[in-house]
Structure formats: structure tokens, C-alpha cells
Amino acid sequence: MASLEPFLVACCAWNRTLQTIEAKLKVLDYYEGLLKEKRKAAQVLCAPKQSARTRESKASLAEQRKQAKDVKARNLQRLCEEKFPLTVKKSMVCRWLKASKREAWRDLPSLLRSRMCATTNAWRVRLGLQAKGRTKGGAYPCDLQRELDWLVYEHANGLSSVSARHEVVTIEHVETMTGLVNDWNAGLDVATQAVMDHNEGVSQQVHAGTMSAEQATRDAQALTMVLPKPRPLKPPSRQWASWFLRQYGWSLLSRGNDTQLSLPYCHEDMRRAREAYRALVDDKGVHGALVLNFDQLWRTAWGSNSKLLFKTGCPGEPSQKSKAGARTSKKIDAVKHQRRGMTAVTTSWSDGTAGPIAFCVPEGRISAEEMAKFNKEHRGRSYVLSSGSKTHFLTADTLLILYEQLFSPALVLQRQRHGVGTEDGKAAFLCDAWSGTFANSRGEDLRRTTFYQEHNIVPPRLQPGGWSSHGQPVDQMHASYRKNIRRLDVCAIGMNPDLRSRPRFEDLTLRASGQVAQDARPMIEIAKISLEAWKQLDRAVFQAAWVICGYTTVEELSVYDGQLAAVGMDAEVAQQTLSDLFSKYGKHFTPQLCTAMEWQVKATVGDVWTPLPYEFAGAVVRTMVLHVRKLQAAREECQNLRERDPAEALEKTVQAKREVAKLEDGKRYIVMNRRTGQIATVDWLTKHVKVSEGRPEPKDARTKIWIMTLVFRLLAGERVSLALSMSNGEPPLPVRCWRLDGVERDQLPELVGGYQHVLEEDEPFQHEDGPM
């Protein structure tokens, strides 16, 4: 046996060389040829039978169909095994075909294909494929991951942060990686040309004999001499961001305290509280949509995250998670006046909708004029009041002010939404055992009783201690609310979610103490930010809160969907209707920040105008400018034709006149990206959308596109009337450009003026077959 061992080793080595990529490609060439013959035979069998005039032609057709049946019945895998037994063995040739296209086997030089049995990880990673063996790069190049890790490392160590130097916000990692991916894709054309020139030079060296085959395949570094064409990368997901933090060894350091003790959901006191709530609705005649739950939340001018990012490995390299040392610093940079606080009174209605929200601030922090203006604009939806002392805490007296100034008009709006009055719409309050709600030392109980009787409200029940955690619906949504506040606070002080857009530490202004010179926003702006964060909470959050606490079910909440009363709907209810409409197409939209004008949309009921989100306003402006540009070009062409044909006898002149009339009263389609909530880019439109009979349609039935319609009408005196339909089947809502000094901009030159730059780089909506 010892004499046969070298021979067996040589045979095994020779046998392995038969499964090189070059040998596999020969099998694939034979396989594709058989596949083409099989497809042609299928076409012959699927073709309709032809009537033969002669016996010979009839016999010929029968012979062709018989041969086609034989060809179609072939087993391609078996034929390949018979022709290439040592190469195919037990492998599936159809899988080779998919792998060859996925891994670009034919792009490899012939000298490498004849010596390689499979592509290496260096080649696969450059193609954006999963590397074999232990995962290192995933779907994104390692260089981009190292750059992201460096950015997070600088941010976590206070080198590029304005205030909190340690944060755990997944969306920031997604936004940063998306920016890196966009930069990668932006330079793809230049990189592709450079790769093609490089590969051409390498091929010329190999064929000229200046580089030997052994030199080209000697080690893994030789593969860097032949580069595959770079491919565009897809934006990352939250799951990828979580994988990234685990792969690169980021751990969490808790900065919070232990949570307070609370009653479990199955406790006897909790069960009695739920039974008491059901008795209100079933026995005492309380309307199922008129129970208002309210609670207090401490809101600081700037809140730091309770967790820190920590890593022991080198930045830019994967590492394992590890525990932080006992003396690891947890200090964060300070924002001046960051602990100036206010008390936010959050509420929710039992029909699963957001209730009004109030903000109590220390005396003198907000002027009386600013308070009056804010409360007038948001009557029944939000209210700002002074505590009357140096603190921001509520008292029994300030709570009574909220009863009269906020809860009373909010209750009127809620009853109007469900078409009931004060007599037939009995309401109730649901709250915890805070002493201010049940105080009676100075006659507050008499004032509360009078209020309850006047507004037909059942007084709140005194709840047991520890009830809030599992018994108060608004407590279930405070975490989501704080996330929204955190995101808007970060943007308010100039900290963009994209870590690359944040100012670096060396560019910031420092105080004498060495900390960043950053001040918190004024209290009135903090109140507006808090209100915006409350509006951006999805309705599903409120519905889930009432279901989780056990007060209602999903089936009961579905009864209230769509029960808005069209009669008697006032301004605030109409504005909330528009907010619900926007929330169907995205959870978070950016408000307009222009100080001179804003684009507004009118509610379906009532004379109420509310600002459009920035994403919708941008889509309207870009589409309108493009439409006006085409209208001006059509007018110029029509004018030139009429000068040459004053009698309008030519068909071309008549058609030009019709085109002008069509553009003066026409519609344009706007394609939006559902994932981003932004207007679709040219690349996305080219890849996913086609135009059929003047209307955009998805190329693939699996692609879900979002199409809005802008109605453009030119009235007398060059006045413009605009309307926007959010989707197919939605009624168009009037849109206007409103100057903040109280004047509407409706003249064509005024509307277009200042917006000509928006389409200088590209025109994403143009299409030959129709508007888009």
C-alpha cells in the first residue's frame, strides 16, 4: 500500500483539477446549448397546429412535433453527467449556472479560471456577495464598515459630538451608513471605468508575457490585480445596524437607576381596576370613546441618553463584546441650561387616538404674549401655562386651569368627532392617585365637582399604588414619545442623525472650562418641539396602549375607525384629520422651516389650512415648476406658429393651441418612494416604473409604488389653482402658497419665482409617454 499512496494522491489532485472554473464553464456552455434547444422545442409544441394541405406536409409536421417532444423530455442534468462525468460528478449544473452569473465567472481571466475551483472571498466581497466561512463583510465592503466604526468611535468618545458623546440610536447608524452607501454609488461610474482600464492593462500584461501565470495566481494578493466591476449597494436596514454593533464589539453601559416597583398585570388590584373601567362603559353609560387618560411627564430642555456605547477593540476592526471596567468614564458633555424643565401632561382617548397635551413651565420662563399666541393657535389640542412658582410642577390649582382651558374644549371636539352631545355623550377621566387630582384642602373638590357636573363627566377612581405601570395607557407610549423628542432635540441644536454631518470637536466653540459652548433652546421652542413629537406618534401606538392595559380589544377599537362626524367639525378637528391622513403614508415627516412662506393644504371639511410636511411640499414645488416650464415652452411654440399662421389654418397650429389649453388645466403624477417617504429618484423610476397610457405603473407586480396627483389650473389674470390627491381614489385637497405675513401667493410669476433652481440638475418626472 505504501507504493500506491503517491499514485492515489496524484490521482486525487488530478481529479480536483477537473472541477476548475474553466471546466465548469465548458459544462455550462453545453448545458445552455441544450437549454436553448429545449426552449425551441417548447415553442414548437406551444404553437397552434397548422392545417396541412398534402399528406407529405402533414407527415412532416407530425415528425417535427415528435422530435420536439423528444427534445423537451431530455434530462439536461443526466446528459451533462454522461458527457462530463469527471467534472459534474454529483453537482447540480443548474446551481453552477446561477453561481456563474452571481459571481461573474466569465469576468475572470482565462489563466485564473483554469487554475481556480471556486472564487475567493476577495472576489466575492468586491461583488457585494456573502464571504465564505466566517462572516466579515456582509453585504457591504469592509472599508465602508471600518469607516462607519471610526465615525461611531469618534462620536462615542466626544470627538465629534455637540453634547452627549455616547448614544445608542440605531437610526443614526442607519443614516450614516446610508450616506456612505450613497457616496459609494455616486462614484460608481468613475470607479467602473477605472476598473475596466485596470483589467485591460492586466490582461495585456498577461498576454504579452510580461507576467507569468504562476505570478498571477501565487497568492491571494494576486487577485487584487484583476478587479470585478463594482455594483451599486442597497441602503442598510435596522437589522443590519444591529448586526454591525454586535460584529464590531459595541456594548451598552447603563446610566439609569432601577425601575420602581409596580403591581403586576395579574394582581388582584389590577384586575379590579379593569373591572371598574368596564363597569363605566357597560353599566354607567359612559361612551366608549370618551374616556380620557392623562399623566405627567418630566421634560428637560435637553435630555442625555441613559446608555453609553463602549468598545474595547481598535476602531475600524471587528471585535467581540466585553464588559466595561469598573473605572470606565461615563461622563458626558453638558448643554447649558439643559436641566431647565417643564411638566408635560400627556393624554389619550379610549378610542385609540391622541388626546390634548399641556406644558407647565416655571413662572417667567415664557412671556404672556407667547403663551396667548400658542394657546390660540392650538385651542383644544395643546396648552401652555405657568405654574405660578419657581418650579414646573403641577398643583391642584393648575390642574383645574387645565380642566377649564384644555380638557373642556378637547372634550367638545371629541364629542363632535363621534357625533354626540353633552347629554348623550357621558365622559370619564382615568388617572393615577396623584394628590392634586383628589386635593380638598382649599375647596378644590367643590370646583372639580362643579366641572364634572357641567360637562357630564364621571369623576376618576382612586387607583391603588403601583397601578400606573400596567394600568395607565399613556405610560405605555412614553418611551416612544421620548424617542421622538430626542430625535427632534438633536436636530434643533444642529446634531444631524447622519454622524458625518455633525460638526467635529475641533470646529466647535469651547468655554473656559473646556466644554462645548452649546445652549438649550428657549422654552417656547421646546414646547413646540414637544408638541410636534406628540403629533408624530402613530395612532397604532395609542391603540396598542389601551389593548395592552386590558381596557379594550382590537375589535372594539375598529368600530371607531372612520366615525368622524362631518357636521359641526371645527378647525382643530379638521387639522387632526389631515394629520391622520399624512400618517397613513409615513410615521415621521419633516416640518417646513421657511420663515417667509409655507405651503398649506385645506381640510376636506371646514375652512382650515394646515402646513404640508416638507416632503409633500417639495414634491408639489418640483412638479409645479416642471409643469410651468413645459407650459411656457408650449406657449412660445404656439405664439411662433400663430405669427406664421394668423388664420390658424394649419393643423400644427391647432394642435399647439390644444396643447397649451391642456397644460393650463391638467394633471401631473408624482411618484413617491414608500420606504423613504421622499420623491422618487431618476434611477429608481427607471428601474421600477413604466408609463402605460400616460399613467405610471410598476414594472413588477411585487413593486408597490405610491402615486400622488397634482391638479394644475390657470385662472383669469394668471392666477393658479392647485390641488393634491394623496393617492389613487383620494379626493384632491386644495393647496396654496401662504406668505406668513398673511397674503396668499397665487400669481404664476410669484409661484415660480425663486424655485427655478430645483430642476437645474435633473428632472425626475419627465417622460415621453405622459406626465409622471
pLDDT attached to residue 589: 60
- Three cell numbers at 372? 396667548
pLDDT attached to residue 524: 86
Long-range CB contacts (< 8 A, 24+ apart) of 139-142?
139/233, 139/234, 139/240, 140/177, 140/181, 140/233, 140/236, 140/240, 141/184, 141/233
Q: Give the single-character DSSP code of 406.
A: I
Burial class (CB in 10 A: 0-12, 13-18, 19+), 349: buried
230 alpha-carbon distance from chain centroid: 26
Whole-number Cα distances in Å, 355 to 277, 386, 395: 18, 21, 21
Q: Which H, E and C letters describe 161-229, residue by residue?
A: CCCCCCCCCHHHHHHHHHHHHHHHHHCHHHHHHHHHHHHHHHHHHHHHCCCCHHHHCCCHHHHHHCCCC
pLDDT attached to residue 220: 36
How confident is the chain (772 residues) per 10-residue block, as mean pLDDT? 40 53 89 89 81 76 86 88 86 88 85 81 75 58 78 65 40 72 77 75 68 51 56 77 76 54 82 90 89 88 68 78 71 66 90 91 87 87 88 85 90 86 88 85 84 90 86 88 81 68 72 70 84 86 87 82 41 46 55 68 67 80 85 88 85 88 86 75 82 80 79 84 79 82 78 61 41 38
Residue 693, φ and ψ in degrees, nearest 5: 55, 40
pLDDT tens, position by position, 125-158: 777 776 665 444 466 777 777 777 777 777 666 5
Question: In whole angstroms, what is the distance from residue 119 CA to residue 106 CA?
Answer: 11
Contact 308, 359 (CB under 8 A): no
Contact 680, 765 (CB under 8 A): no
DSSP 754-771: T-GGGGSS--TT--TTS-
Q: Length of the chain in residues, anyone?
A: 772
Question: In whole angstroms, what is the distance from residue 479 CA to residue 26 CA?
Answer: 61
Topology (CATH level 3) of domain 268-301+336-558: Nucleotidyltransferase; domain 5 (3.30.420)
Contact 358, 344 (CB under 8 A): yes
DSSP 538-569: -HHHHHHHHHHTTS--HHHHHTTTT---STT-
Question: In whole angstroms, what is the distance from residue 480 CA to residue 473 CA?
Answer: 13
In the chain, domain spans: 1-102, 134-258, 268-301+336-558, 597-759
Contact 477, 467 (CB under 8 A): no
Question: In whole angstroms, what is the distance from residue 689 CA to residue 705 CA?
Answer: 8
pLDDT attached to residue 293: 93
pLDDT attached to residue 567: 31
pLDDT attached to residue 214: 57
- Three cell numbers at 23? 471546466
pLDDT attached to residue 147: 78
